[in-house]
Chain A
Amino acid sequence: MPASEVLVLRKGKRRYTAQFINTMLNNEYNKNFLKETRIYQNLMLAANKTARNILVLMLALALAAVSFQSASIPLHAAENHSLLENLPFSVDERAAVTVRTIHGSYAYNRYVSLRDMAAALSGTPKSFNLTVSGSEINLFLHRDYTPVGGENTPFITENEGEETRSSIYQTNALGIHAMNIDGEKARYHNYLGENAEGQPDAFLCITDIAMILDVDLWFSEGILRADTSRNFIVSMDELQKDGFFLEVRSALVGDATEGIVYTESEADLSVPIASTTKLMTLLLIMDAIRAGEISLEDNVSISENAAALSETADGVIPMKAGMRAGLMELLYALMLPSSNESALALAERICDSEEAFVARMNDKARELGFSEEACFYNCHGLPIFTDSVAASKIQNHMSARDMFLLVSHLLNEYPQVTEITSTKEMRLPTFDRTVNNTNPLLYNMPNVVGLKTGTTNASGASLVSAAEMADTTGRKHIIVAIEYGAEDASARNTVSQILLRYGCQVFQSGTVPVQERTPAPELPEAEMLVRKILGSLYDKRNDTDGTKNTQE
C-alpha cells in the first residue's frame, strides 16, 4: 500500500482507502451516486462505528486515569522542575540532613519538602506531623512526625559528561491546594509531588513554612539552619538590605488606630489600586448610612447596569435586573468575593448614578487629605478605557499612604466593618450561593480582621490586610499592612504576611522604629476652608434631617 494512502476503515474484507474515498467524493456525480448506493451507506456506517470505538477507548482511558488519581499525583496541569536542590538542613546545630527543594521557576525561589522538614524537626519544640494525599495537606503542629519512608532522600542526579545535574522532577502546578493546619483551613501556595519512596509530598515556600511553624530559619554557609528555641522574627533592616521591597511596587505598615507608620517603601507612589477601591466604596456606604440616606435593613434593587456587569468576564455573582437584595447581603458580596456588580448596585442606589458616586469618592479623597494624584474613575476598581481616539486604559489610583489614611479613617469611624471583612464565608440566600473571602491571611494568621485584595494586570497582586491587637490597657489597635504590585498571588500572600507579622511584632514590642516620617502635605488654604465649611454643612444636614440612624 502506498505511503500516501491511509487505511480509513474496513468492512469485511474490503478496505477503502482515503485516497479512494476522496477521489469518489470529489466527483459530484460520484458523490450523488455514492449517496444512493449501499457502498456509501456502508462506508459511513463503518466510519461511524470506528469513531465510536475510538471514543469509547478514550473514555475508558480517562476513567482509568481518574481512578488512578486518588493514589497518585492529581492530573492537573503537571509541572516539570529542573531547578532542584538537595538543601542541607541543620536543626539546633545537629548534623545536616537533606531537604528536597524545588526552585520554583527562578533560582532561590525555594519550595521545600514538607516531609523532609517534618522528619528533620521531629522531636523538637517545632515538630509537626502531616498527612498528604493527592488533593489535601494536613499539618498538625507540635506533634512528632510519623515517617512514611523516603524522607530526606536527595534528588537523583545524572552525570552528563563533566556536569552533574538533577533529574527532572514532576509535581502538579503551583496552586492553593486544600490545606488544614490543626484542623483549620489554611491557604498557602504549594506543589504536590512524591518523595523517593513514591509517597505523596507537598512543597511549600520556605518563608511560609517558617511562619507556619513560627521558627527562626536562616542560611549560613550554604546550609539552612533552624533554632527551635526561637520564634520567627521579622528583621525589617535585614529584609530591606536584601531588597525585600523590590518585590512589590509600594508598601506601608502601621498602626491605623493611632495613625503611626512603622515602615514604608515607595509609599507616596501613585499606583493602580484595583479592587482595594472597594474600601473607599465601603466607606461612602457607611457615610450614607450615617447620613440617613440608606439603612442596613434596606433592600436594593439590582439595576440594569449592575446586572449587565455581572454577565461580563468581570462579573462575580450573576444578577438579574430588578432583583432585590438586602443591603447587608450586598456588603458581604462586595467585600468577600469582591463582587463588582454589588459595588455598582450599591453606588447607584446611593447616588442614582455611578458618576455621582465617583464624584463623592474623589471629594472624600480630598477631604481625607489624599495626594493630588489620587483619582477614582469607578466604584469597583476595574480598568476602563478613556473615551477618545487614542483611548488609553486607566484605573483608580492612589498611594499606599493614601490607603493608610483611608483605612485609618474607615476603621476609626466605623470599627464594625471588620465584622464583614473578617468573615471567611457567607451564605447569600438571594443569590443562592456561598461566597468565600479572597483574603488568604484570614486563614493563615491569627487576629486578622481584613481587609481587601486587589488584582489587575496593571496593579499586580495587592492586599490591604489588618490585624487586631490589644495594648497593655486592653485598648484595641488595628495594625495595617498595605502592599501593592506583587507579581503574583503567591508573592502577595507571603510578602503581606511578613509585613503584617512585622507590624504586630512592632506593636507588641512597644517600640516604634525610628523612621523619618514624611509629614502629610499641607493642604492649600482654600481647600482647608472649603472642607471645614462643608464639614459643618454635612453635620448640619444630619442633625436637621431627622432620619439619622444610630451608629451601627
Chain B
Amino acid sequence: MKSIKIIVISILLVSCLTLGGLFVWLALLNAHGEKGLSGSWQMQETLDGKYARNAAREWLSGADMGEQVEIADYIDNPKVSIILTFREDGSWEKRLEKESYEKAEERARKGLAAAFYELLALRAAKTGHDGLSQEDASQLMQEATGMNAEEYFSETGLRLLPPLDELQSFYDSSGTYAVEKDELIWNKASRYHFLVDDDMLVIYSDENRDFYEVYKKYASE
C-alpha cells in the first residue's frame, strides 16, 4: 500500500512539474514572441533598375556617341532599406530609410560617372587621342570643371532614381499588430507567420510559403 502511494504521489509531482514547466514555457514563449518582435527591423529592397538606367541613358544620349555606351554595365538595380518597427503599444510602422535612398542615388550617379568617362574616352579616341583611362578622364574633368563627374551630377541635382516621396508613398505605412503564438496579426485582419531567430525576423504567408520578408535587427536611431 505504501509503495503504491509513493508511486502515485511521484507521478502527481512529476505531472505538476511538467505541467508547470509547460505552462512556464508556454508563457515564456508567448512573452518572447511579442517582446522579441518589438523594436526596429531593417530589410533591403531591390528596386527595378530600369528607371535609373533609362534616366542615365537619356542624359548620356544628349552627347554624340552617347548611345554607344552600354549603361547596363555601369548601373545595377538600386537597393534601399525598409525599416519595420514594432512598438510595445501594439502599433507598427514601416518606412523607407532616406539615408539608404541617398546612398542608392549616389551609387547610380557613380555608375553614370563611369559611363561618362567611357564616353569621353570614345570621343577622345575619335580625334586621335587614344587610351584615355577612367582615372585620366576623371582628372581631366576635374581640371576642366573643378569637380569630377559624381560631384558634377550631385551639384547639378541630376536624379536617376524615382523621386523619394513617390517611393515613400509606396513603402511607408503603419497600423496595429498583435501576436498569437507564431502568428502576426496585421491591423486585426491579415495573418502572417513569423519567426525570430536571434537578430533575424522572417515573416511569411501561410497561403504562399514563398512569400516572405526577411529583416535584420536595426539599431535604433
Q: Which residues of A approach B to under 8 Å, CB–CB? A: 351, 356, 359-360, 362-363, 366, 523-527, 529-530, 532-538, 540-541
| Interface residue from A525, A532, A537, A538 paired with B62 (Cβ < 8 Å) | A525
Which residues of B sit under 8 angstroms from A363, Cβ to Cβ? 64, 123, 126-127
Q: Do A527 and B140 touch (CB < 8 A)?
A: no
- Taking the complex as formed, is B144 at the interface, i.e. its CB lies under 8 A from any CB of chain A? yes
B75 is an interface residue with CB less than 8 A from chain A: no
Residues of chain B within 8 A of A540, CB atoms compared:
140, 143
Q: How far is the CA of A523 from the CA of B66 in the complex (A)?
A: 14
A359 contacts B63, C-beta separation under 8 Å: no
Assess the A537–B124 pair: CB atoms within 8 A.
yes
Q: Is the interface of B mostly helix, strand, loop or mixed?
A: helix
Q: How far is the CA of A356 from the CA of B62 in the complex (A)?
A: 23
B63's contact among A529, A537, A538, A541, by CB below 8 Å, is which?
A: A529
* Residue in contact with A360 in the complex, picked from B119, B126, B132, B144, CB distance below 8 Å: B126
Q: Which of B116, B124, B144, B152 has the most CB of A within 10 A?
A: B144
With A525-B59, A533-B140 as contacts: A359 and B66 at CB distance below 8 Å: no
Is the beta-carbon distance between A366 and B64 smaller than 8 angstroms? yes
Q: A525 vs B60: C-alpha distance in the bound complex, in angstroms?
A: 9
The list of the 4 closest CB pairs from A to B, nearest first, reads A524-B62, A526-B63, A526-B62, A536-B144
Q: How many residues of B contact A (CB 8 A)?
A: 25
A536 & B143 in contact (Cβ 8 Å cutoff)? yes
Known: A359-B126, A359-B127. A534 touches B64 (CB 8 A): no
* B127, B137, B140, B144: residue with the most chain A Cβ atoms closer than 10 Å: B127
- Having A533-B144, A538-B127, one finds 18 other A-B pairs with CB under 8 Å, namely A359-B127, A360-B128, A363-B126, A523-B62, A525-B156, A526-B61, A526-B63, A526-B66, A527-B62, A530-B63, A532-B144, A532-B145, A533-B120, A534-B123, A534-B124, A534-B127, A535-B144, A537-B124
Supposing A526-B59, A536-B144, A537-B140 touch, asked if A351 and B64 sit within 8 A by C-beta, the answer is no
* CB pair B62 A351 closer than 8 Å: no
Complex Cα gap A540–B62 (Å): 25
Contacts A533-B120, A533-B140, A536-B144 hold; do A527 and B64 have CB atoms under 8 A apart? yes
Closest chain B residue to A291 by CB distance?
Answer: B128
- B120 CB contacts on chain A under 8 angstroms: 530, 533-534
Q: How far apart are B68's CB and chain A's nearest CB, in angstroms?
A: 13
Among B66, B123, B128, B140, point to the contact of A536 (Cβ < 8 A). Answer: B140
Smallest beta-carbon distance B28→chain A, Å: 63
Knowing A536-B140, A536-B144, A537-B140, the reply to whether A530 touches B119 (Cβ < 8 A) is yes
Closest to B156 in A: A525
Mask, B20-61, CB within 8 Å of A = 1, is 000000000000000000000000000000000000000111
Q: Which residue of B lies closest to A535 (CB)?
A: B144
Separation of A356 and B128 alpha carbons in the complex (Å): 8
The smallest beta-carbon distance between B138 and chain A, in angstroms, is 10
Specify which chain A residues have a CB less than 8 angstroms from the CB of B132 in the assembled complex: 537
Does B129 touch A at the CB level, under 8 Å? yes
Q: Is the CB of B196 closer than 8 A to any CB of chain A?
A: no
CB distance from B27 to the nearest CB of A (A): 66
Select the residue from A351, A529, A535 with max chain B CB neighbours within 10 A: A529
Question: What 1/0 mask marks residues of chain B from 150 to 169 whose CB sits below 8 Å from any chain A CB?
Answer: 00100010000000000000
CB-defined contacts of B178 to chain A, threshold 8 Å: none
Q: How far is the CB of A289 from chain B (nearest CB, A)?
A: 15
> Given the complex of chains A and B, what is the CA–CA distance between A363 and B123 in angstroms?
8
**What residues of A have a CB within 8 angstroms of the CB of B59 in the complex?**
525-526
A523 to B62 alpha-carbon distance, docked (Å): 8
Give a binary string over B110-136; 1 marks a CB under 8 Å from any A CB, 0 the rest: 000000100110011011110010000
Q: Which residues of B contact A532 (CB under 8 A)?
A: 144-145
Nearest Cβ in chain B — how far from A530, in angstroms? 5
A residues in contact with B152, CB < 8 Å? 529
- In chain B, residues 91-127, which have Cβ atoms closer than 8 Å to a Cβ of chain A? 116, 119-120, 123-124, 126-127
A-B CB contact pairs (8 Å), 24 listed: A356-B128, A359-B126, A363-B64, A363-B123, A363-B126, A524-B62, A525-B62, A526-B66, A527-B62, A529-B63, A529-B116, A529-B152, A530-B63, A533-B137, A533-B140, A533-B141, A534-B127, A535-B144, A536-B143, A536-B144, A537-B140, A538-B127, A540-B143, A541-B129
